[in-house]
Amino acid sequence: MDQTPPTDAYNNDVFDLIPNQTLKILEIGTGSGSLAAAVKRRNPTTEYIGVEIVPEYVELSQSSCDRVYLDNFEKPSYKLIGEFSSIDYILMCDVLEHFNDPWS
């Protein structure tokens, strides 16, 4: 399945569910980084880690995220797995339909 084109829009429902004092977020499929930018505007101390499978989207979201991995979340690298231990929330907005096997 083709990737969704990046946009400056983000899911407000997800944004509203994220507590203001969240310490660390991992977002799978950052696209343009618009959700990361909104979270960082509200709380600049939130550490925001992005994961993208599209190199161009990594570049787009780097300005909003603290780190962005070019990685496949279905087969994550050891470096990405190292981030998991201290994450408060993993966000997966509009990405499951792009997984090869979302049931895994």
pLDDT at 96 over 80: no
Instruction: Please say if the pLDDT value at position 102 is more than 80.
Output: no
The three state secondary structure string of 38-103 is: HHHHHCCCCEEEEEECCHHHHHHHCCCCCEEEECCCCCCCHHHHCCHHHCCEEECCCCHHHCCCCC
pLDDT the model gives residue 99: 66
pLDDT at position 61, please?
Answer: 95
Q: What is the pTM of this model?
A: 0.86
Query: Tens digits of per-residue pLDDT, 16-73?
Result: 999 999 999 999 989 899 999 999 999 999 999 999 998 999 999 999 999 999 998 8
Residue 10 pLDDT: 87
